[in-house]
């Protein structure tokens, strides 16, 4: 946890920033000074609209802050404005900074911070789409997450837009894509592509096999999760929805959400509960990294790795089923702790499963380390220099493979990570090979963490007594290190037993933004493994609030029609 | 050879090429599965695949010449290749210089697939096709040099002459090197990992094959399986013909066994490697060409 001295030091530096800015910012981390009561680990900086870009630049440049995400909130019923809150992390001080800017509802514009903080590119496009605040000076102001036929001027996250609104579908709308540079042709990877398990469209601009640029259109998987969280569900129901944000790291999202509520409400999770969360989180990392290893092998045509990695993984899934009743989507988390304890007879069983997993993972590591063909396919592929990774806010194994010392388990310890300390798995190469090595090391470290947590597992209950209602108008930021990187949940508590605003940032959200930089100058053959090396999770990234009305309409084509369509597409144009 | 015997031999070679090649494909799938801790499909699965695909509707993305004739042409070239190759007996179609014809026909079968891919107009087929051409241009010299070693030693340009000389001569250093080079070329000719670069499912969704479906896909697949089998026959018959019994059925059986071993080796290499990038593959085969030239040098000094 951050010490009082750390906090005071950061406070002083921020106050120095404030003085330099002639009073257009206010530090408001005292109760009553502002509408929302922040937490002890969060510095709440209120900033005027004109100063937001300068302050963000200073935070990153002078204080070494790392951009997390921006939360756009319709605060008209509360404060009469739209709240644009840029979240930053001061990893060394274990602090969050919330840069809060109220935007007048009559003049919904704000200075874009993307020119000075490139990592904010998607986050700013997203609040433009969702609450209708225009980031002025944004280098790429296209739509990010709304469907192409979503009407202009209808902002789904505004409080007066119902969660089940269905605007009429429009035919023949296409997303505005970048034009390929002269002399290049376009190779589309997606929207549906064999090695991408989910829809996502990359348009590669290629000169022969060499890539000179690319464009992205994603967010095909909108499920309206955040909107549901603050209109329909209650605090106690959301963990089950949060768990469904991702099919692989579901426990991570439910933990991250529960921690945010616990922070906001001041609930202390029992120590055994925190340890069990750690165990489940690390089991999830083990099976996720094995899953990734298999997919990465498959992408470069190395199916032997796929088959072996998934064979090793399977007993972990059975173990999770024995513990929770489900292979995935355990339904174990709830606000205040866990709904299910670890049965005493499960303890030896966990160790029994981990033994072979570790042994076989070591064997796989040996095989990989000596495989020159594999190294040829991954070394110097998808290069990501540390400064680029830092600027784009890349998190998780891709960041650590570029030498960035980022790990949410160490930067902002949660669950039992203050007592069961993970090893920071670093590599300097910044290429796909380094990312393979980081993940394999983490896999083995997770085995160690589960063992240590089991050995030190305290007795007692796993669920705190959550008596009172969650108080309104409190803000909390919670992070969890998912296998793919740091997941961030922001919570603003509301009065009707549900959040006023719940914002989720999955790790693939920043990582995918690094993709154009990573494939520049590479060949087509390298694109799938480069994308794979980010371990992208599109559905998590696209948890946001729009409902794609087009997917609701089902049309059955007759074979003749299909054939005609196919030929028309091919015909002279 | 009497006309009747020649026709019989033609039928035999074509029959082996067409009807036995799916069986070998099934065997390699089974072996691959075993190496990957899988059960795998039944050995006869490729036959079912062909039947199923042949029974499907013929969907086309364009109406050009290659879309209509490409699949049949490709399989036709492979059948011609089968008639030029020795399978237990001498090749049924024998004429002066048929070694050169063998090389050309083997390439033509692959080239037809590339042209059909180009005709389909898909960007993936374009990329896959250009990869295939690049690969062919580096792999063909390897096979050519390997055969030239034999031609140089046996002083003949006929396949049957080569076969007879090698069977009588016994192993030599130069022919062993040539055999190894031919085997390495076979990996790419059969479209196996690490050289399945043109099709690269995970990158190009099948490359030249991406727009092929139904009966046309069946014919292309069949042609590829038959081609890998016939080229394996060329390898074992021309470079490793011993022991030569002289009885057609026995020699054919022996050759089939040797082909099975060769394809098993190809499959093992396929399983234990990831796919190479095309530039890496070209670099690899460039080194193999120089290796094969060493074989030719040995042949020149009579070893």
Residues of A with CB under 8 A from a CB of B: 185-188, 193-195, 208-209, 297-308, 311, 371, 373-374, 376-377, 523-528, 559, 563, 566-567, 569-570
Domain assignment present for A170: no
Contact B59 A563 (CB under 8 A): yes
Residues of chain B contacting residue A305, judged by C-beta atoms under 8 Å apart: 274
Residues of chain B contacting residue A565, judged by C-beta atoms under 8 Å apart: none
**What's residue A568's pLDDT?**
56
Q: What is each CA distance from A398 to A429, B88, B152, in whole angstroms?
A: 10, 57, 56
Q: Among A194, A559, A567, whose Cβ lies nearest the Cβ of B205?
A: A194
Q: In the structure, what pLDDT confidence band is assigned to residue A28 with cuts at 50, 70 and 90?
A: low
Cβ-based contacts under 8 A for chains A and B = 87
Q: Which residue has the higher pLDDT, A185 or A363?
A: A363
Q: In Å, how far is B174's CA from the nearest CA of chain A? A: 28
Residue with tokens 């970048």: A178
Task: Tell whether A128 and A248 lie within a shared domain.
Answer: no
Task: Tell whether A118 and A262 lie within a shared domain.
Answer: no
Residue A16 lies in domain:
4-145
Q: In the structure, what pLDDT confidence band is assigned to residue A34 with cuts at 50, 70 and 90?
A: very low
Last residue of a domain, one of A106, A128, A145: A145
Mean pLDDT of B105-130: 89
Residue A205 β-bridge partners: A186, A213
CATH of the domain at A403: 1.10.645.10
Contact A307 B38 (CB under 8 A): yes
Q: Which residue has the higher pLDDT, A13 or A156?
A: A156
Q: In Å, how far is A292's CA from the nearest CA of chain B? A: 15
CB atoms within 10 A of CB B216: 24
Q: What is the per-residue burial (b if ≥16 Cβ within 10 Å, else e) of A199-226?
A: bbbbbbbbeebebbbbbbbbbbbbbbbb
Contact A379, A433 (CB under 8 A): yes
Structure tokens given for B181: 């080079």
Mean pLDDT of A229-234: 91
Q: With an 8 Å Cβ cutoff, is B194 touching chain A?
A: yes
* All structural domains of chain B with their residue ranges: 3-300
Contact A281, A480 (CB under 8 A): yes
pLDDT digits (tens, 9 = 90+) for A292-341: 999 999 988 899 999 999 999 999 999 999 999 999 999 999 999 999 99
Q: In the structure, what pLDDT confidence band is assigned to residue A38 with cuts at 50, 70 and 90?
A: low
Secondary structure letter of residue B18 according to DSSP: I
Mean pLDDT of B48-70: 89
pLDDT digits (tens, 9 = 90+) for A354-400: 999 999 999 999 988 988 889 999 999 999 999 999 999 999 999 99
Residue A334 β-bridge partners: A337
Domain assignment present for A567: no
Contact A159, A180 (CB under 8 A): no
Residue A549 reports pLDDT greater than 50: no
Q: In the structure, what pLDDT confidence band is assigned to residue B169 with cuts at 50, 70 and 90?
A: confident
**Count of domains observed in chain A:** 2
CATH of the domain at A77: 3.30.460.80
Mean pLDDT of A453-470: 91
Residue A75 β-bridge partners: A81
Contact B59 A570 (CB under 8 A): no
Residues of chain A contacting residue B127, judged by C-beta atoms under 8 Å apart: 187, 209, 524
Contact A100, A47 (CB under 8 A): yes
Q: Report the C-alpha dihedral over residues A22, A26, A27, A28, rounded to 10 degrees.
A: 170
Mean pLDDT of A140-149: 89
Structure tokens given for A497: 């037993």
Q: With an 8 Å Cβ cutoff, is B287 touching chain A?
A: no
Contact B101, B31 (CB under 8 A): no
For residue A139, how far is the Cα from the chain centroid?
23
Contact B146, B181 (CB under 8 A): yes
Residue B102 reports pLDDT greater than 80: yes
Give the pTM.
Answer: 0.89
Residues of chain A contacting residue B200, judged by C-beta atoms under 8 Å apart: 301, 525
**CA nearest neighbour of B106 among B136, B129, B130:** B136
pLDDT digits (tens, 9 = 90+) for B245-293: 889 999 999 999 999 999 999 999 999 999 999 999 999 999 999 999 9
**What's residue A403's pLDDT?**
95
**What's residue A24's pLDDT?**
62
Contact A463, A336 (CB under 8 A): yes
Domain assignment present for A387: yes
Mean pLDDT of B95-108: 90
Task: Tell whether A239 and A135 lie within a shared domain.
Answer: no
What integer best gives the mean pLDDT of chain A?
87
pLDDT digits (tens, 9 = 90+) for A50-98: 889 988 998 999 888 999 999 999 999 888 899 999 999 999 888 899 9
Question: Which residues 75-94 of B are in CB contact (within 8 Å) with A?
Answer: none
ipTM of the complex: 0.87
Residue A573 reports pLDDT greater than 50: no
């Amino acid at each position: 946890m951050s010490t009082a001295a750390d906090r005071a030091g950061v406070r002083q530096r921020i106050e120095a920033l404030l003085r330099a800015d002639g009073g257009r910012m206010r530090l408001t981390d005292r109760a009553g000074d502002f509408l929302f009561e922040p937490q002890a680990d969060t510095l709440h900086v209120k900033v005027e609209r004109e100063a937001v870009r300068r302050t963000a630049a200073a935070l990153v440049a002078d204080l070494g802050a790392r951009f997390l995400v921006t939360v756009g909130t319709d605060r008209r019923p509360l404060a009469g404005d739209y709240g644009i809150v840029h979240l930053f992390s001061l990893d060394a001080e274990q602090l969050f900074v919330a840069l809060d800017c109220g935007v007048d509802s009559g003049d919904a514009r704000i200075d874009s911070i993307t020119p000075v903080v490139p990592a904010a590119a998607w986050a700013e496009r997203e609040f433009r789409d969702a609450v209708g605040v225009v980031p002025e000076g944004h280098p790429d102001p296209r739509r990010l997450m709304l469907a192409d036929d979503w009407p202009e001027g209808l902002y789904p996250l505004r409080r007066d837009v119902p969660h089940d609104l269905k605007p009429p579908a429009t035919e023949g709308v296409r997303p505005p894509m970048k034009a390929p540079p002269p002399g290049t042709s376009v190779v589309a990877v997606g929207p549906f592509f064999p090695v991408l398990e989910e829809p996502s469209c990359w348009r590669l601009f290629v000169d022969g096999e060499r890539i000179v640029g690319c464009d992205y259109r994603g967010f095909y998987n909108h499920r309206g999760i955040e909107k549901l969280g603050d209109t329909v569900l209650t605090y106690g129901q959301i963990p089950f929805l949060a768990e469904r944000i991702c099919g692989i790291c579901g426990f991570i999202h439910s933990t991250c959400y529960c921690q945010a509520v616990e922070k906001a409400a001041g609930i202390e999770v029992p120590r055994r509960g925190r340890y069990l969360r750690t165990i489940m989180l690390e089991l999830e990392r083990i099976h996720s990294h094995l899953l990734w290893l298999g997919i990465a092998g498959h992408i470069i045509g190395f199916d032997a790795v796929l088959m072996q990695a998934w064979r090793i993984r399977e007993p972990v899934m059975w173990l999770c089923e024995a513990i929770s009743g489900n292979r995935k989507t355990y339904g174990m988390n709830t606000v205040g702790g866990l709904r299910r304890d670890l049965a005493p007879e499960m303890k030896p069983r966990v160790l029994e499963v981990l033994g072979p997993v570790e042994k076989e993972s070591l064997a796989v590591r040996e095989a990989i380390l000596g495989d020159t063909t594999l190294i040829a396919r991954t070394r110097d592929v998808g290069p990501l220099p540390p400064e680029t990774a830092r600027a784009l806010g890349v998190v998780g194994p891709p960041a650590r493979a570029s030498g960035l010392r980022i790990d949410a388990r160490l930067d902002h310890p949660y669950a039992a990570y203050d007592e069961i300390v993970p090893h920071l798995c670093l590599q300097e190469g910044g290429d796909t090979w380094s990312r393979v090595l980081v993940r394999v090391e983490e896999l083995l470290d997770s085995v160690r963490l589960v063992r240590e947590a089991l050995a030190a597992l305290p007795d007692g209950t796993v669920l705190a007594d959550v008596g009172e209602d969650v108080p309104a108008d409190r803000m909390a930021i919670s992070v969890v290190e998912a296998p793919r990187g740091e997941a961030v949940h922001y919570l603003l508590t509301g009065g009707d037993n549900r959040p006023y605003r719940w914002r989720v940032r999955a790790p693939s959200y920043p990582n995918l933004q690094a993709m154009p930089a990573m494939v520049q100058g590479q060949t087509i053959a390298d694109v799938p493994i480069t994308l794979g090396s980010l371990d992208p999770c599109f559905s998590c990234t696209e948890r946001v609030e729009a409902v794609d009305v087009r997917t609701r309409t089902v049309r059955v084509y007759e074979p003749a029609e299909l054939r005609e369509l196919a030929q028309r597409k091919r015909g002279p144009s | 050879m009497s006309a009747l015997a020649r026709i019989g031999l033609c039928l035999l070679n074509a029959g082996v090429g067409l009807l036995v090649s799916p069986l070998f494909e099934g065997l390699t799938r089974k072996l691959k599965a075993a190496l990957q801790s899988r059960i795998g499909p039944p050995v006869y699965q490729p036959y079912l695949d062909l039947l199923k695909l042949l029974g499907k509707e013929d969907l086309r993305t364009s109406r050009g010449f290659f879309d209509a004739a490409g699949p049949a042409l490709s399989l036709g070239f492979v059948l011609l290749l089968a008639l030029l190759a020795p399978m237990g007996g001498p090749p049924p179609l024998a004429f002066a210089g048929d070694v050169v014809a063998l090389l050309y026909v083997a390439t033509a079968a692959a080239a037809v697939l590339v042209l059909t891919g180009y005709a389909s107009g898909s960007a993936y087929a374009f990329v896959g096709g250009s990869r295939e051409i690049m690969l062919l241009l580096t792999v063909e010299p390897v096979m050519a040099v390997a055969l030239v070693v034999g031609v140089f030693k046996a002083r003949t340009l006929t396949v049957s002459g080569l076969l007879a000389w090698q069977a009588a001569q016994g192993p030599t250093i130069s022919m062993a090197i040539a055999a190894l080079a031919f085997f390495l070329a076979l990996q790419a000719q059969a479209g196996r990992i690490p050289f399945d670069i043109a099709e690269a499912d995970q990158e190009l969704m099948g490359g030249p094959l991406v727009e092929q479906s139904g009966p046309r896909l069946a014919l292309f697949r069949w042609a590829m399986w038959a081609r890998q089998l016939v080229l394996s026959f060329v390898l074992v018959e021309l470079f490793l013909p011993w022991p030569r019994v002289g009885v057609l059925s026995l020699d054919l059986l022996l050759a089939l066994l040797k082909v099975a071993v060769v394809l098993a080796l190809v499959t093992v290499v396929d399983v234990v490697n990831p796919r190479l990038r095309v530039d890496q593959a070209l670099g690899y085969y460039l080194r193999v060409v120089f290796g094969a030239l060493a074989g030719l040098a040995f042949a020149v000094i009579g070893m």
